[in-house]
Amino acid sequence: MKHVIKWHRYFGLVIAFFVVLLATTGILLNHTEELELSQQKISNPLLLTLYGIPAPEVIAVFTTPNHRLVRGKQAAILDNHQITAPSPVNGLVEANGILVLASGESVILLTPDGELIDSITTSAPVERIGLAGNRVIVDSGDTKYVLNEEMTQLQPSQNLPEAAPDWSTPAALTKAQRDQATNLLPRNSIPLERVILDLHSGRLFGYAGVIVFDLIAIAMVVLALTGLWMWLWRNRRRNARRNPS
């Protein structure tokens, strides 16, 4: 019996930490809505690594005399405005106060604040975009186009200005500039509710975490049974001492 009591104590000490953890997370999960846990986002890099969520990554940076566009994997930031674009950005130019962005099979016109003015589609993906004087030139592989003055239509190459276009190319970045650009990109995040739920189930630490939490749950059941057994044993022994006959 002494061995059982000894092991019960040691197990109890270890399990106590998990009892507190499970009780706390359980209470929090019971009040998810009141505490607005699903609305609260966590963007801790270490935690996101546990979930396999990558950190924001800069693909390219394009600049005009007055503006800078940072293209990340999932988002594009124009100065300080997010302008999420699904396809890659191939260039950015500025003409008559309007920003013209080449993205996939389209030319997108934006205000300097990043508001969408209009989009014009091309017959093939835009490979490069540039400026010849103040005219926007779009290179779609075999065909080159000029954006008309009203910026409503792409006109074929016979109307190309004589000046050689100054093509927009990604800016070469030093490590410090790349880090600065990365900081502009929105960080990925995960709802606090998800983290607490996964902490409660052990899933936060992968499948091994689930198995460990299963073992802890079994240990809790064993502790409850051994605790009950010890209590009965002590009661019986106390009664035996009081009534020796």
Partner 1 sequence: MMRSISVTRAALLLAVLLGLPGATALARGINQTPDAFIQETFPRPPKPKVIWLTGDLKKEIEKILQHPYAKLRVKYWKKGDKSAWVLDEIGKEKPITVGVIINDGKIASLRVLAFRESRGWEVEQPFFTRQFTQAGLRKDNRLDRNIDGITGATLSVRALKKLARMALLLDQNIRK
**Interface with partner 1 (CB under 8 A):** 75, 77, 80-87, 103-106, 108, 111, 114-121, 123, 150, 152-153, 183-184, 186
Closer residue to partner 1 (CB): 120 or 223: 120
Closer residue to partner 1 (CB): 42 or 222: 42
Measure the CA–CA gap between 145 and 130, rounded to whole angstroms: 10
Closer residue to partner 1 (CB): 49 or 87: 87
Closer residue to partner 1 (CB): 70 or 199: 70
Minimum CB separation from partner 1 for residue 85, in Å? 6
Minimum CB separation from partner 1 for residue 65, in Å? 21
Measure the CA–CA gap between 93 and 95, rounded to whole angstroms: 7
Q: CB count, 10 Å around CB of 126?
A: 25
Minimum CB separation from partner 1 for residue 124, in Å? 8
Minimum CB separation from partner 1 for residue 19, in Å? 41
Measure the CA–CA gap between 133 and 110, rounded to whole angstroms: 20
Measure the CA–CA gap between 100 and 110, rounded to whole angstroms: 6
In the chain, the amino acid numbered 180 is Q
Specify whether the CB–CB gap between 140 and 155 falls below 8 A: no
